[in-house]
Amino acid sequence: MNNLPRHKGVPIFKSTFPLLGDLLGFPLQQSQKLGKVFRADVLLGPLIYVFDSNWITHVLETHPHNYIKSRQYDPLKFALGNGLLTSDGDEWKAQRKVLQPMFMKDSIATLCKGIEQGTASTINRWKHKTEIPHLNHETNLLAIDIASRCFFGIEAKERGARLAELIEEINHFLMRYLKIPIPIPLSTPLPFIRRFKAARKEVYQLINEVRHMHNNGELASDNMISMLIDSGQFDDELVRDEIITFMAAGHETSSNALTFTLFALLNNPEHFERVKDECRALNLSQLSVDTLKDLPYTVAAIKESLRLYPPAWTLGRRNLEEDVIQGHTIKRDTNIIIPTYAIHRHPEFWPNPDTYDPMRFFGKSERDFPKFTYLPFGGGPRFCIGQHFAMLELTHAIHQIVTHFDISSPTKELELDPLITLNSKTPIHLSLKPR
Ligand code: HEM
C-alpha cells in the first residue's frame, strides 16, 4: 500500500483537515487527480479510498470475512447492541441466515399494511396544513411511524409516539458522539450521554412490554417483532437488538431518501410531471410488492435520487489479516473507504454526473451498470437487508403524496450535511394544496 498514489498533506496532521473540511468533495476531487485507488493519511492512520470495482469486489464480495465493519460503527454498538448492522463474523452470519427470509417478497407482503397505515396517517396530518417549513421533520415522522408499525407492531399514536421520541434521542446522541474527536467512555457524566442512556432504557422497557403483549396473544402477527419471536431463533436480548437496529437503520435512511427525492422532483419539473401522471393514473386500492412494477418511472426517480444523494454516503471496512489486493499489500487493520457519494458522481462512471435524470434507470436493472458504480444499498453479503422494504415504502409515499396534494417548494439549493446518514443542512420548505 506504500506504492499507492497518496494525497500530500502537511506534517503531523497530514491530510486530516482537507478531508474533515470536505468529507463529500475530498474523495471525488482526489480521485480525479490520483486515480481510482489512493491513500490519504490522517491522524488516526492511513485511509485507502477505493473507486475501482476490482477492489470493491474484493473487499465487499469475495473476502468479506477479512473485511469487518470499520471503527466508525463502534458508537453504533452502544446504541444498537449486537444486531445485524453492528455484529461481525459467525455471529453476523447466523443472524443474517434467519433474518434474510423475513425480508423476502412474501414476508414483506405482510408488512404492507403497516406501510399503508403509516403513510395514511401522515397524509391525514398534512390535510390540515398548507405549509411545511421543514420537510425532513415530516418525512422523519412518516418513516418512524411506518417503522413502529412494521417492526414493532404498534401504532404511532400511543407507545409509537413515545418510541419515536426515544429513537430521536438516541440518534441525537449518536450525532453528537460521532463529532467528538477522541472517543470518551460512556460512563462520562455528560448530560447528552445521560439522556441517551435513559432513552435506551425506556426503549428496552417498551420492547419488553410489546414482547409480553405478543406472549399473551395481544399482538397481531403482521410485524417483525412477532416474526422474530415466533422464529424461536433469538433470545430476548437479540430480539431487542434486532428491533432497535431495524428502527434505527430503517428510518433515517428512508426519511432522507424521501426528502431528497421530493426535492429533486420539485426542481426538475419535466420529470415531476411524468411521476405525477404515472402515480395519478394508478388507482391503488391495496399496496402490494408488485406495486413497484406499476410505477416504473417513480421507481427510476427514487433510484436516481439515491445516486445523487445516497443516504449511506460512505462505507467503511478494516481488514483482520494482512492481504494483497491487485498486487498491493494491505497491512492488517487498515481502513478501506468506499465513498458511495463520490462514486455516484464520478464523471467516468456517470455522464453529466450532477444532473438529475431518472431516465438513466428507467427500464434498466442495476446489472446494466458497471459493477459497483451504483451501490446505495451496499454490496456483497452485507448489502442492505431492508432494500425492498425501503423501495416499497418510498414508492408508496410518493404515490400517496402526489395523488393527494399539489406540492411546490421555493427551496432551490441544498447544502448537504454528511452525518451518520446524508442530510440536508438547508430546510426544505413545502407548500401543499389538497387535490
Ligand atoms: C433508502 C433506505 C436505505 C438505504 C439507502 C440503506 C442503505 C444501507 C447500506 C448501504 C447498507 C450496507 C452498510 C455496509 O455495508 O456497511 C445497509 C445495511 C443495512 N440496512 Fe439499510 N438502507 C435503507 C433502508 C433500510 C431499512 C428500511 C431497513 C430495515 C430493516 C434497513 C436495515 C439494514 C440493516 C439491518 C443493515 C445491515 C445488514 C447486514 O450487515 O447484514 N435498511 N443499508
- pLDDT for 165: 82
pLDDT 10s digits, 27-60: 999 999 999 999 999 988 899 999 999 999 999 9
Nearest CA to ligand 1 atom 20: 384
The continuous run of DSSP H or E covering 195 comes out as helix 191-215
**How far is the CA of 153 from the CAs of 115, 165, 237, 343, in angstroms?**
11, 17, 18, 37
Domains plus CATH for the chain? 1-22+34-80+316-344 (3.30.43), 81-312+357-434 (1.10.630.10)
C-alpha of residue 394 to centroid of ligand 1, in Å: 14
In which band, very low, low, confident or very high, does the pLDDT at 157 lie, cut at 50, 70 and 90?
A: low
What is the rounded radius of gyration, in angstroms, for the C-alpha atoms of the chain?
A: 22
3-state secondary structure of 1: coil
In which band, very low, low, confident or very high, does the pLDDT at 70 lie, cut at 50, 70 and 90?
A: confident
The continuous run of DSSP H or E covering 316 comes out as strand 315-319
The residue ranking higher by pLDDT, 342 or 247, is 342
What is the Cα–Cα distance from 243 to 154, expressed in whole angstroms? 13
C-alpha of residue 422 to centroid of ligand 1, in Å: 14
What is the Cα–Cα distance from 204 to 258, expressed in whole angstroms? 29
N-terminal to C-terminal alpha carbon distance within the chain: 59
C-alpha angle 225/226/231, rounded to 5°?
100
Q: Which of 247, 258, 384 to mutate to test the pocket of ligand 1 (most atoms within 8 A of CB)?
A: 384
Burial 382-421 (b: 16+ CB within 10 A, else e): bebbbebbbbbbbbbbbbbbbbbbebebeeeebebeebbb
Q: How far is CA 86 from the centre of its chain?
A: 14
C-alpha of residue 383 to centroid of ligand 1, in Å: 7
The continuous run of DSSP H or E covering 433 comes out as strand 430-434
3-state secondary structure of 68: strand
Nearest CA to ligand 1 atom 11: 384
pLDDT 10s digits, 355-365: 999 999 999 99
Of ligand 1's listed atoms, the one at least distance from the Cα of 380 is: 15
Cβ proximity of 105 and 388 under 8 Å: yes
Nearest CA to ligand 1 atom 16: 315
Of ligand 1's listed atoms, the one at least distance from the Cα of 394 is: 1
Cβ proximity of 414 and 397 under 8 Å: no
What value does the mean pLDDT take over residues 75-100? 91
Q: Which grid cell is 212?
A: 409480553
Residue 156 has pLDDT above 50, yes or no: no
pLDDT 10s digits, 207-228: 888 888 898 888 888 899 999 9
C-alpha of residue 389 to centroid of ligand 1, in Å: 10
What is the Cα–Cα distance from 424 to 308, expressed in whole angstroms? 13
pLDDT 10s digits, 9-32: 888 888 988 888 899 999 999 999
Cβ proximity of 99 and 242 under 8 Å: yes
C-alpha of residue 325 to centroid of ligand 1, in Å: 26
The residue ranking higher by pLDDT, 290 or 78, is 290
C-alpha angle 373/8/352, rounded to 5°?
30
Residue 109 has pLDDT above 70, yes or no: yes
- pLDDT for 74: 78
Sequence-distant (6+) residues with CB within 8 A of 323 are 63, 66, 329, 330
Pocket of ligand 1 (CB under 6 A): 84-85, 96, 245-246, 249-250, 253-254, 257, 311-312, 315, 376-378, 382, 384-386, 389-390
Of ligand 1's listed atoms, the one at least distance from the Cα of 390 is: 27
Give the other-Cβ count within 10 Å of 35's Cβ: 13
C-alpha of residue 98 to centroid of ligand 1, in Å: 16
Question: How many Cα atoms sit within 13 Å of 270 on the Cβ side?
Answer: 4
Cβ proximity of 163 and 200 under 8 Å: no
What is the Cα–Cα distance from 261 to 403, expressed in whole angstroms? 16
Beta bridge mates, 417: 423
C-alpha of residue 249 to centroid of ligand 1, in Å: 6
Percent of the chain with pLDDT over 90: 72
C-alpha of residue 312 to centroid of ligand 1, in Å: 8
What is the Cα–Cα distance from 150 to 233, expressed in whole angstroms? 20
Amino acid in the structure at residue 221 = S
Q: Which grid cell is 372?
A: 459497483
Of ligand 1's listed atoms, the one at least distance from the Cα of 224 is: 30
C-alpha of residue 59 to centroid of ligand 1, in Å: 17
Cβ proximity of 26 and 14 under 8 Å: no
Q: Which grid cell is 83?
A: 444486531
- pLDDT for 395: 98
Percent composition of the chain: helix, strand, coil (DSSP 3-state, to 5): 55, 10, 35
Q: How far is CA 339 from the centre of its chain?
A: 14
- pLDDT for 164: 77
**How far is the CA of 130 from the CAs of 133, 135, 374, 408, 435, in angstroms?**
10, 12, 37, 11, 12
Amino acid in the structure at residue 205 = Q
Of ligand 1's listed atoms, the one at least distance from the Cα of 316 is: 16
What value does the mean pLDDT take over residues 167-183? 79
pLDDT 10s digits, 384-406: 999 999 999 999 999 999 999 99
Residue 178 has pLDDT above 80, yes or no: no
Nearest CA to ligand 1 atom 1: 254
Residue 155 has pLDDT above 70, yes or no: no
- The closest alpha carbon to 99, from 381, 364, 411, 394, belongs to 381
